[in-house]
């Protein structure tokens, strides 16, 4: 599949957007925090949404329409060699709803759910929303790479936690779990008669040359006790259109999905369903170009940091467009994003929000123009100079 170039919209165009990324800060701030892209929509998605508007196709989602589910299945087959059964999938609003509604049926109030910080901040809220208690097992960090702490997860499950909320690929560090790690995780969870909910929203953004492994493909145990949360929203910049998929591979988890109130389905967005279909079915060249652009931006960020801010450490992500920056050597405190916004006018995601392991860190969004990265590093360096 050819890789087509992807370029960000012009800054004057971006400033007209009203979404969170562009609507929260004043115009003198470079917004590089929330996970929204600065790239134009994929042409196929744009055309389909315009057609839907022209037709007035703005009603409720049709749960019998297989379009989005089939498009995801075909994409997963082409990208990962996995062909999930569309009859075992469910439709809903977003990945957070997949997580909460699944947890509500898999735990009793007060039971523990393992998360692995530094982690996507809403995980800390989604578990208690479902009635559970967060059990933290931080990622293992050897100073050069991150990995799941499988022994720690085993201990938490032995101590009474009921399951694992997996981030795969892992936000914010861009870790893509290898098959052997996921296989061992599935054996550990099965031994404790637990479950795994695998948030795979960043999976389509796995970088070129890196292999992503869907959790539900690694073993019979994983297929029996797992639910995958899938969405096109990060890959194609569709977060505001509100569509995600429950995906299962076992009768037990399929029954769970089918037990959901019908409103869980009807809260999804019609435009999101259309855009999901067009993204996975007809926008793979655009996605490849976007990944290539992000990887070039990661190269640029690494070079700019080396030249202007060598005290800031970047460990290259293997997925998504998010860069996890260790800024602790700058002496900007536990939350360097505060000083970055106040003095450099660069908005980064607060590291401590990802867990206490995020102290001294910040997350930067690389789905932007190269000039934005260069300017952001220049501004940050001016504070230290």
The tokens 């839907």 sit on which residue?
52
**The predicted structure's pLDDT at residue 144:** 87
* Residues 54-79 pLDDT 10s: 999 999 999 999 999 999 999 999 99
* Residues 153-200 pLDDT 10s: 999 999 999 999 999 999 999 999 999 999 999 999 999 999 999 999
Structural domains in the chain, sorted by start: 11-41+284-384 (3.90.1150.10), 47-282 (3.40.640.10)
Is residue 3 over pLDDT 80? no
Q: Residue 385: CB partners within 8 Å, gap ≥ 6? A: none
**187 phi-psi bin (left φ>0, alpha ψ -120 to 50, beta other):** alpha
**The predicted structure's pLDDT at residue 2:** 60
Q: What mean pLDDT is reported for the chain?
A: 97
- 316-319: list long-range contacts, CB under 8 Å, 24+ apart: 316/174, 317/173, 317/174, 317/175, 317/207, 318/169, 318/174, 318/175, 318/176, 318/206, 318/207, 318/210, 319/169, 319/174, 319/175, 319/176, 319/202, 319/203, 319/205, 319/206, 319/207, 319/210, 319/212
**Residue of 142, 137, 150, 144 lying closest to 177 (CA atoms):** 150
* Residues 109-164 pLDDT 10s: 999 999 999 999 999 999 999 999 999 999 999 988 999 999 999 999 999 999 99
Whether a cis peptide bond, with omega within 30° of 0, leads into 256 is: no
Is residue 257 over pLDDT 90? yes
**The predicted structure's pLDDT at residue 306:** 98
Q: What is the mean pLDDT of residues 255-274?
A: 97
**Residue of 303, 288, 307 lying closest to 370 (CA atoms):** 303
Secondary structure of the chain as H, E, C letters: CCCCCCCCCCHHHHCCCCCHHHHCCCCCCEECCCCCCCCCCCHHHHHHHHHHHHHCCCCCCCCCCCHHHHHHHHHHHHHHCCCCCHHHEEEECCHHHHHHHHHHHHCCCCCEEEECCCCCCCHHHHHHHCCCEEEECCCEECCCCEECCHHHHHHHHHCCCCEEEEECCECCCCECCCHHHHHHHHHHHHHCCCEEEEECCCHHHECCCCCCCCHHHCCHHHHHHEEEEECCCCCCCCHHHCCEEEEECCHHHHHHHHCCCHHHHHCCCHHHHHHHHHHHHHCHHHHHHHHHHHHHHHHHHHHHHHHHCCCCEECCCCECCEEEEECHHHCCCCCHHHHHHHHHCEECEEHHHHCHHHCCEEEEECCCCHHHHHHHHHHHHHHHC
Q: Cα(286)–Cα(313) distance, rounded to whole angstroms?
A: 30
Q: At 165, give phi and psi (nearest 5°).
A: -100, 105
Residue 322 pLDDT level (bands cut at 50, 70, 90): very high
- The partner residues of 326 in beta bridges, in order of sequence, read 313, 361
Residue 384 pLDDT level (bands cut at 50, 70, 90): confident
């Amino acid at each position: 599949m050819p890789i087509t170039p992807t370029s960000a919209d012009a800054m004057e165009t971006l400033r007209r957007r009203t979404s969170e990324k562009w609507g929260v800060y004043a115009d003198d701030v470079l917004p590089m925090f929330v996970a929204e892209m600065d790239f134009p929509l994929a042409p196929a998605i744009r055309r389909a949404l315009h057609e839907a508007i022209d037709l007035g196709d703005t009603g409720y989602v049709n749960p019998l329409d297989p379009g989005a589910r089939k498009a995801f299945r075909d994409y997963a087959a082409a990208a990962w060699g996995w062909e999930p059964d569309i009859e075992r999938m469910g439709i809903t609003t977003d990945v957070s709803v997949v997580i909460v509604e699944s947890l509500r049926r898999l735990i009793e109030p007060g039971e523990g759910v393992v998360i692995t910080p530094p982690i996507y901040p809403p995980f800390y809220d989604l578990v208690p929303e479902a009635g559970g208690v967060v059990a933290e097992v931080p990622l293992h960090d050897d100073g050069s790479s991150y990995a799941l702490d499988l022994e720690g997860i085993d201990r938490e499950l032995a101590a009474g936690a009921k399951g694992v909320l997996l981030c795969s690929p892992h936000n914010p560090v861009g870790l893509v779990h290898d098959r052997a790690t996921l296989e061992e995780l599935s054996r550990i969870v099965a031994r404790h008669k637990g479950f795994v909910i695998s948030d795979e929203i960043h999976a389509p953004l796995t970088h070129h040359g890196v292999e992503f492994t869907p959790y539900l493909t690694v073993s019979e145990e994983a297929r029996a006790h797992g639910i995958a949360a899938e969405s096109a929203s990060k890959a194609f910049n569709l977060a505001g259109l509100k569509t995600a998929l429950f995906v299962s591979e076992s009768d037990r988890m399929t029954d769970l999905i089918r037990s959901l109130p019908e409103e869980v389905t009807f809260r999804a967005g019609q435009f999101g369903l259309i855009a999901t279909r067009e993204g996975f079915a007809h926008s793979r060249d655009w996605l490849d170009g976007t990944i290539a652009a992000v990887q070039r931006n990661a190269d640029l960020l690494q070079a700019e940091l080396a030249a202007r801010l060598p005290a800031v450490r970047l460990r290259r992500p293997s997925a998504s467009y998010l860069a996890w920056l260790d800024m602790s050597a700058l002496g900007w405190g536990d939350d360097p994003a505060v000083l970055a916004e106040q003095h450099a006018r660069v908005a980064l995601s607060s590291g401590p929000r990802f867990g206490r392991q995020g102290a001294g860190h910040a997350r930067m969004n690389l789905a932007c123009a190269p000039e934005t990265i260069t300017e952001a590093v220049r501004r940050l360096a001016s504070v230290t100079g």
